[in-house]
Amino acid sequence: MNITPKEQLYSSCKTYIEERLLRIQGGITSLEEALTSETKSSAGDKHETGRAMIQLEREKLGKQLAEVQLLQERFKKVPLQRKSNQVILGSVVYTSKHHYYIGISAGKILVDGEIYYAIAPDTPMGKILMGKSIGEKIFFNGSEFKIKEIE
């Protein structure tokens, strides 16, 4: 059974989110361990500064965790099997210059030797592409693109 580029892109985006989530959770665990060992070490100004730095880093990771969880919720809304003559959430768009996957912003993804850009519908390029049809021309950063195919 052949896996379509759309299925591979969907899978890559899902993996991207899972890996980010694991990295952040790992960072939080490490900081909590550091905080525990910091509590057991010496007291004084150095100790308080160390604890404050760990707390700041923990807050930063907490914000990143919330962002990734929101990304995960948004990604659950990306349909895998829906087809349309217009660019919609979940579309793979082939243009005269680049290929795009409309889902989440996950950067470049290589599928079968071809580069695809995973973008969210609310990114500048995503906003331009959404609702467009095959044959339409779009303009972005001084370049003209023509939509050749929508999957």
- pTM equals 0.85
Domain ranges of the chain: 5-75, 92-150
**pLDDT per position as a tens digit, 15-67:** 999 999 999 999 999 888 887 776 555 555 666 777 788 889 889 999 999 99
**In this model, does residue 141 exceed pLDDT 80?**
yes
Q: How far apart are the first and last CA of the chain?
A: 18
- Torsion region of 112: left, alpha or beta (phi above 0 gives left; psi -120 to 50 gives alpha): left
Q: pLDDT per residue over 123-138, tens digit each?
A: 999 999 999 999 999 9
Please state the length of the chain. Answer: 151
Question: Does position 12 have pLDDT exceeding 70, yes or no?
Answer: yes
CB atoms under 10 Å from CB of 110, counted, come to 10
Backbone angles phi, psi at 130, to 5 degrees: -55, 130
